[in-house]
């Protein structure tokens, strides 16, 4: 990458966030509004059976996120050097800028597809900060209401749950009486509108690895 001639002192912060037009951060895409619920309550046994697969999914997400970060940081460097001038075709780093932006978008789309297909597509929810901290919620029922079984990456089994609006800080220890009553299909499933997650279109069938 060539240095600009007669480079003036750049007053842009090296750590500033690039304009949204330059990249599409995964955090902006991965909202609960994108989640496709199967509308079936999980039992504790069903949730526990999925944990090995979830660990594998997060390993793939780690790889995609590392790629995203690499290209994001490179775009930040180009922006710090050139500002808006890097978008001009005659700029010496314009081609590199286009390549980095394209690869950043590809990494964003890879993350989005894995999350939608392998998490949301299985009826799971990714709360705020879930991608960064490896937190997944399993919708289930308890005493006639919807609640979440809560799992954090590294936990070998489900040990906590929380109310729909309780969040990770509201986690409660999973007791034997909870295990027996959660996800029972011999009871009427309560109204799931409290979860407030509309359906989405199915993602493409091709793998993103």
Structure tokens at 63: 């790889």
Q: What is the pLDDT of residues 41-69, one digit of tens each?
A: 999 999 999 999 999 999 999 999 999 99
pLDDT band at 6 (very low <50, low <70, confident <90, very high): very low
pLDDT of residue 207: 41
Please, are residues 120 and 39 in contact by the beta-carbon 8 Å criterion? no
φ, ψ of residue 12 in degrees (nearest 5)? -85, 140
How much of the chain, in percent, has pLDDT values that exceed 70?
69
Measured CA angle at 159 (ends 28, 61), to 5 deg: 30
Report the alpha-carbon distance of residue 172 to residue 148 in Å, rounded.
10
pLDDT in tens, 93-114: 899 999 999 999 999 999 999 9
- The Cα–Cα gap between 153 and 159 comes to 12
Q: Structure pTM?
A: 0.71
Please state, in angstroms and rounded to a whole number, the distance separating the CA atoms of residues 209 and 207.
Answer: 6
Domain ranges of the chain: 31-194
Helix, strand, coil percentages in the chain from 3-state DSSP, rounded to 5: 45, 10, 40
């Amino acid at each position: 990458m060539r240095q600009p001639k007669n480079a003036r002192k750049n007053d842009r912060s090296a750590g500033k966030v690039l304009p949204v037009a330059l990249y599409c951060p995964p955090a902006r895409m991965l909202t609960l509004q994108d989640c496709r619920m199967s509308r079936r309550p999980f039992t504790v046994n069903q949730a526990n059976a999925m944990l090995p697969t979830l660990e594998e999914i997060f390993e793939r997400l780690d790889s995609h996120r590392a790629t995203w970060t690499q290209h994001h940081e490179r775009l930040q460097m180009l922006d710090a050097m050139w500002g808006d001038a890097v978008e001009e075709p005659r700029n010496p780093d314009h081609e590199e800028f286009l390549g980095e932006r394209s690869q950043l978008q590809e990494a964003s789309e890879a993350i989005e597809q894995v999350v939608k297909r392998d998490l949301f597509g299985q009826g799971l929810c990714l709360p705020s900060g879930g991608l960064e901290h490896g937190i997944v919620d399993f919708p289930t029922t308890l005493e006639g209401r919807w609640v979440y079984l809560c799992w954090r990456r590294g936990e070998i089994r489900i040990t906590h749950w929380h109310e729909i609006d309780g969040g990770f800080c509201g986690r409660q220890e999973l007791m034997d009486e909870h295990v027996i009553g959660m996800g029972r299909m011999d009871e009427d499933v309560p109204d799931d509108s409290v979860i407030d997650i509309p359906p989405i279109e199915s993602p493409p069938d091709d793998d993103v690895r």
